[in-house]
Amino acid sequence: MRFKEIIFIMIIIFQSSGCKNNTAHSEIIIPKIAGVIDLEEKKNVEEQSIVGNYISEIDPVDKKSCDKIRVLVSMIGNDKLQLKVIPRIEKERHSLIFEAVVYKNNDSLFTTLINGKRILINITNKILSIKPEKPEDLRALTTCCSWGSNLAGSYKKIDSTLSGR
């Protein structure tokens, strides 16, 4: 009987004196490895790759056509972008024809409402595309342009600023 009591007491002592190392307060050190981008840096790279100037395709026959448009994209929050649409060819001054705040759905898809219609803005591989969620809502993208052109379509990102004409 004495043997069982001694074993029992030893078990209680071992359990109560267990490891005093509290891992909740321990600091974990993760070394930085060259060539590895941490998540915060990656997010900034994605934001920088979205922000910029996008321009519609140039019609080689009619280079002076005023229905060619440019879209300026800037970040205004973690999950919001601002789109400003300006005619590409503007002799006198920049005239803003449309401005919208678009909200992030995922890394490449943003949405907004124009005249009560949901509009999808997709940005991938330096291409910005604008289209209505439903094909029958295409008119919502026409009514926001003063000259009757349509915002729906694809725009290619350019590296330069659009200040030059």
136 occurs within a structural domain: yes
Q: Is the residue at 55 inside a domain?
A: yes
Please report which confidence band the pLDDT of residue 28 belongs to, taking 50, 70 and 90 as the band edges. Answer: low
Cβ distance 81 to 74 under 8 Å? Answer: yes
pLDDT at 99: 87
Domain count, the chain: 1
How far apart CA 4 and CA 23 sit, in angstroms, is 34
For residue 17, the model assigns a pLDDT of 67
Q: Do the domain assignments include residue 148?
A: yes
Predicted local confidence at residue 139, as pLDDT: 84
pLDDT score recorded for residue 118: 94
pLDDT digits (tens, 9 = 90+) for 38-58: 555 455 545 558 899 988 875
pTM over 0.75: no
Rounded to whole angstroms, the Cα distance separating 114 from 75 reads 19
Q: Residue 116 and residue 136: Cα distance in Å, rounded?
A: 13
pLDDT of residue 24: 55
Q: Does residue 19 lie within any of the structural domains?
A: no
What is the predicted pLDDT for the residue at 45? Answer: 47
pLDDT given for residue 48 in this prediction? 55
Query: Could you tell me the CATH number of the domain that includes residue 146?
Result: 2.40.128
6 is a domain residue: no
In sequence order, the 6+-apart residues with CB closer than 8 A to the CB of 98 are: 83, 84, 85, 144, 145, 151
% of the chain at pLDDT higher than 70: 59
Q: What whole-number percentage of the chain has pLDDT above 90? A: 21
Is residue 67 over pLDDT 90? no
Domain-located, residue 77: yes
The residues with which 158 forms a beta bridge, in sequence order, are: 53
Does 4 have pLDDT greater than 60?
A: yes
Q: What is the pLDDT of residue 164?
A: 44
The pLDDT tens digits of the residues spanning 80-129 come to 999 988 876 555 455 667 788 999 999 889 999 988 999 999 998 889 99
What range defines the domain where residue 63 resides?
51-158
How sure is the predictor about 77, in pLDDT bands with cuts at 50, 70 and 90?
confident
